[in-house]
Amino acid sequence: MKWTGNLRKMSSELLTPVNYTLNMKNVLEDGPSVPMNELLGKQISIQFENEIHCVVSGKKIKKTFGEGMSFDAWRNSPSAVESILHPEKSRIHEGIALRDFEWEEAHHNQPHYVYLSRTGGIKVGVTRCTNVPFRWIDQGATEAIILAETPYRQLAGLIEVELKEHMSDKTNWRMMLKNEFSDDTDLLDAKEEALELLSEGYYDFISDEDEITKIEFPVLEYPTKVSSMKLDKEELIEGRLMGIKGQYLIFDGGRVMNVRSHAGYRVSISFRE
């Protein structure tokens, strides 16, 4: 079996374990879908076809910016607006767009969660409510809890800014892939500690939802060391697929590939027992 197309990030379902599907594109049109969980334990090959297509315009490019964009798209596309990485900078709730009014209204002037998740350590993050639990899966979190719910993105970002003075807002991807944890604090206790750090002005947005979402990933064996591979340097990536976590494929020998960072790359994927 062989699948050829342009990479996009894997889609996921919160099952036990998480079920992954790689929905490829033919440039911008829908392409083949690869049932990734079925490839676990098999010898797979990912052959770079020496073409990269911008995920926004579809034009051929030599390198990507952001996640699979041409430089022009990265500068102009609403999906690369500054308030994605810095939610506190969003102003669409005031009727002010940073880049694209309709896009920001649809994506950022919407209810958002501030959450705590356990990746390598415990981190604070922000996401649109409709992105849960997929955001947690994408970052390789083994569990997560909702801290606050806000009516628009900027407010969630301001809460995050206040909390990240005391805790990380980044994922240690190496620890995440090795399934190692630097902090064994119970997430409910971590939530209580985080709430004590918040200014009173944010109390009305604290969530009463204390359910901890637990996430199990399809991994046969976690590596003790990890080595990242990129198609720019290795046109053929092959080996036994030992696991999938976050947006990473874990191969034997601790070699890993971030699928999301290769968005737009045209590849052929095949496997054998």
d(CA 123, CA 160): 10
Q: Is the pLDDT of residue 1 over 90?
A: no
Give tens-digit pLDDT for 159-207.
999 999 999 999 999 999 999 998 889 999 999 999 999 999 999 999 9
Same domain, 200 and 226: no
What is the token pair recorded at 217?
């990933």
User: Is residue 73 one of the residues assigned to a domain?
Assistant: no
pLDDT, position 273: 81
Cα–Cα distances in angstroms (integers) from residue 145 to residues 71, 115, 135, 208, in the given order: 36, 6, 12, 11
Q: Stretch 38-56: mean pLDDT, rounded?
A: 98
Give tens-digit pLDDT for 92-148.
999 999 999 999 999 999 999 999 999 999 999 999 999 999 999 999 999 999 999
CB atoms within 10 A of CB 159: 26
The H-or-E segment that residue 44 falls in is strand 43-52
Cα 179 to chain centroid distance, Å, stands at 17
Same domain, 134 and 259: no
Same domain, 60 and 176: no
Q: Stretch 240-256: mean pLDDT, rounded?
A: 98
Cα–Cα distances in angstroms (integers) from residue 231 to residues 8, 44, 237, 238, 245, in the given order: 14, 15, 7, 11, 19
Residue 70's pLDDT band (cuts 50, 70, 90):
very high
Expressed as residue numbers, the domain containing 53 is 2-68+218-272
Please answer whether residues 251 and 40 qualify as being in contact, where contact means their C-beta atoms are separated by less than 8 angstroms.
no
Beta strand 227-229 with 255-258: parallel, antiparallel or unpaired?
parallel
The DSSP output letter for 94 is G
Query: Could you identify the residue written with the tokens 């045209």?
Result: 266
Same domain, 181 and 268: no
Same domain, 104 and 189: yes
